[in-house]
Chain A
Amino acid sequence: MPMFQPSRKDGGVLGLDGGGDGRILDVESAVKDGVLGGGAVAVYGGGGGGGEKLDLKKMIDELNLCEVPSVFICPISLEPMQDPVTLCTGQTYERSNILKWFSMGHYTCPTTMQELWDDTVTPNTTLHHLTYTWFSQKYVQMKKRSEDAEGRASELLANLKRVKGQARIRTLEELQRVVANHSTARKTVADEGGVALVSSLLGPFTSYAVGSEVVAILVNLSLTSEAKMSLMQPAKVSSVVDVLNEGSIETKINCVRLIEMLMEEKDFRRELVSSHSLLVALMRLVRNKRHPNGHLPGLTLLKSISTLKEVRSLIVSIGAIPQLLELIPVLNPECVELALFILDVLSSVPQGQQALKDCSDTIPTMVKLLMRITECCTDYALSILCSVCNLSPQECSLRAVDVGLAAKLLLVIQSGCSPALKQRAAELLKLCSLNYSDTIFISKCKLTRTIQ
């Protein structure tokens, strides 16, 4: 291990107080005391020195740290150096990077721009040792924290079996934090029957405080088929829906994710989502204008649910259609596409078709969306318009043309959209034109184009 004996003169170089007799300072302590920057690193013994038991590359990759001391960073790649070499100018680079620089025909030092008078590259052993030591200590620290997390998770699970009331809530809160921050803890929880234990807390008498933490924990874990099946008991799903209804936005989003996880299961029981309370609660999340971060998860789940035929008329019956239509103007494009998918799927059931026709916002909104966002959106919007116009051709196509449908359809036909889409647009255009004489219709097209 390299020893460093500071003389009084040099005491200030590393920021050490060189007072008194020379203190023996080794690399480990130098790194430990944070003299290199990057924060003080607590030493847990081991690491560094001669034997490279831990592979540097592996450590760098696993740690994936953002704040690495600048002296360890290669000026070319801005990555930590695993094999630092120094040029005659005194600048240090990653070997492979500087050799590549040379192979491209440059014989200058990239940072100083000086012409090199000597093309040898000298391995910077000192820097390598320091880099290795620093990363080793960080690595050991992380491993310790991980183990700590594993141990803590174990303790918390044991605790959970004993306590009730406020203590139970606090244990769950801490378990959620540990599980969210440490992947090793998640494995511990899964291995020690934690999933079943936590799931067992859901039931008809689960309070909101307990329920919200249980959901927050479960969404962080990967659930086995068995675990998901046991969660599909109606009483448990009911308590999740209750939490979805009453929860904060973050909690609501967790509930949505949990339900999605259950729906992925092959033997998923469809009656579970065929529930008024679930759908109303979900729509409440989707409609919440104060918290737009709930739109995407809510709509994604609603889309999954709408693919189940049995549930479609239920979705319509809770008034989802006018609510979605009202919401579309404030959604981001990704969410608009989801909303349109849902409306399109709902238009395939008679109640949905009727509700779309009855809602006065449908036609203007759909016409506006044609050729506005993505081809997918245009596709869905067109499909909805076709559905509504087919239900009551006279009335609807009149209204649609009045808000500029004809011109939009012409746009679709002239665009680079898929042939099938263009075909449908042409058919709808034909349907609309039946209401007018040729001249009037053409003027409707022209007029609306001018308006645009």
Chain B
Amino acid sequence: MVFVLCTLIDSMGSLCSRHRRSPADPEENEQTAEIERRIEQETKAEKHIQKLLLLGAGDSGKSTIFKQIKLLFQSGFDEAELKGYTPVIHANVYHTIKILYEGSKELSQSSEDSLKFIVSDENKEIGEKFSEIGGRLNYPRLTKEIAHEIGTLWRDSAIQETYVRGNELQLPDCAHFFMESLQRLSDVEYVPTKEDVLHARVRTTGVVEIQFSPVGENKKSGEVYRLFDVGGQKNERRKWIHLFEGVSAVIFCAAISEYDQTLFEDDNKNRMMETKELFEWILKQPCFEKTSFLLFLNKFDLFEKKVLKVPLNVCGWFKDYQPVSTGKQEIEHAYEFVKKKFEELYFQSTSPDRVDRVFKIYRTTALDQKLVKKTFKLVDETLRRRNLFEAGLL
């Protein structure tokens, strides 16, 4: 492509004028015209694609949302793709039991009631074996026998006690789900289900994207969206974030259930504080001056269960929280408190000239497909209204 243009420039001296094409190269003229046409078409098409950027700290649920969109609005996962997740899921299983076993050893030394963390002798053998298994890439296939052993260890009371203290370890959220499905996962003919795939945990590296169009009720095709998922860990974010200038919206995922957990990369840093700082940083980026912000307060299902047992004020940001009641009412009250904190943060980090940016908060549970679909319908509505508004039609 480039070469054709260059020769043309050389031979003619002007690319702009269509009239002054050299009559001696009709074929090259044809090619150039074709290329120019295609570039024009693609640029036009690009303009209509709404780009969405998924941001958030590690483990906030971005990739789960990504997978849900794939399941909802694209063709989902075919058999090959599903099978491709088997090694990931098996790795998650090994990883989980390893963390639990080593966690129990740690707690049996450091905790006051250390006795309850001491694993029974037979299970200790199993535990040691799994501890020795090498890095992720070397996990052996999950056979029935191995699954049986893991199951036995999982049911050890010490391990169960360790599980309760899971927030102090870097235990993945899928732990319980996979541990309770060991028999199924180790089956020779095992093909992961959609739910398994949604639970599977893999650190996203690089950028992944999908293009989709949410089909409306009347089966008419709606807007075309392109969703980008970038990794969440602390890395040189500031170097590449500006590449996303001009996206229609940033979907920021914040896992509200992790107010009592610490970072994977830094055991001393509270995850919620990290999310807070990240959100603040992103809001202040000049490249997002005019971008709509959609905040997904994610992992509500885990939040619901946790908030009645673990008070919110273990997290520095929420230290002024006062519980008012119990049960469902208290859960709602706690959720509203967290929501208000994020709102406050948003408005404090937004300069007056940016206050007209769209900002909306959504309560999500990324694992629940119906909920994600509902949420996304609302997102679609908001973005479409925004476009109409900007086009002066509202």
A: residues with CB less than 8 A from B are 165-166, 204-205, 207-209, 233-235, 238, 242, 246, 248, 275-277, 280, 284, 317-319
Contacts and interface: CB of A to CB of B under 8 A. Distances in A.
B381 A209 contact: yes
B352 A275 contact: no
Given A234-B336, A246-B385, A248-B394, A166 B377 contact: no
A280 B347 contact: yes
Nearest to A277: B343
B125 interface: no
Contacts of A233: 332
B269 interface: no
Main secondary structure of the interface of A (DSSP, over half): helix
A29 B373 CA distance: 61
Interface stretch (B153-161, B281-289, B355-363): B355-363
A431 B245 CA distance: 54
B208 to A, nearest CB: 27
**Closest 7 interchain pairs by CB?**
A234-B336, A276-B347, A276-B343, A205-B374, A204-B363, A319-B352, A165-B217
A166 B218 contact: yes
B344 interface: yes
Interface string B329-341: 0001100100110
Nearest to A318: B347
Given A242-B360, A275-B340, A166 B217 contact: yes
B375 interface: yes
Contacts of A235: 332, 336
Main secondary structure of the interface of B (DSSP, over half): helix
B378 interface: yes
B356 A284 contact: yes
Contacts of B352: 319
Contacts of B340: 275-276
Contacts of A209: 381
Contacts of B333: 234
A230 to B, nearest CB: 13
B382 interface: yes
Interface residues of B, number: 26
A166 B340 CA distance: 32
B219 to A, nearest CB: 12
Interface in B305-336: 332-333, 336
Given A205-B374, A246-B385, A318-B347, 20 more contacts: A165-B217, A166-B217, A166-B218, A204-B363, A205-B375, A205-B378, A209-B381, A233-B332, A234-B336, A235-B336, A238-B339, A246-B382, A275-B340, A276-B340, A276-B343, A276-B344, A280-B347, A280-B355, A284-B355, A319-B352
Interface of B: 217-218, 332-333, 336, 339-340, 343-344, 346-347, 352, 355-356, 359-360, 362-363, 374-375, 377-378, 381-382, 385, 394
Nearest to B377: A207
Query: Which residue, of A242, A277, A317, A319, has the highest number of chain B Cβ atoms within 10 A?
Result: A277
B382 to A, nearest CB: 7
A255 to B, nearest CB: 15
A209 B352 CA distance: 29
B347 A207 contact: no
22 contacts: A166-B217, A166-B218, A204-B363, A205-B374, A205-B375, A207-B378, A208-B385, A209-B381, A233-B332, A234-B336, A238-B339, A242-B360, A246-B385, A275-B340, A276-B344, A276-B346, A276-B347, A284-B355, A284-B356, A317-B347, A318-B347, A319-B352
A275 to B, nearest CB: 7
Contact of B381 (A208, A317, A318, A319): A208
Contacts of B336: 234-235
Nearest to A274: B340
Contacts of B385: 208, 246
A235 B377 CA distance: 18
A234 B332 contact: yes
A166 B216 CA distance: 10
Nearest to B356: A284
A235 B381 CA distance: 19
A248 B375 CA distance: 22
Contacts of B381: 207-209
Nearest to A283: B355
A207 B332 CA distance: 20
Contacts of A275: 340, 343
Contacts of B356: 284
A165 B216 CA distance: 10
A216 B331 CA distance: 30
B207 to A, nearest CB: 30
Contacts of A317: 347
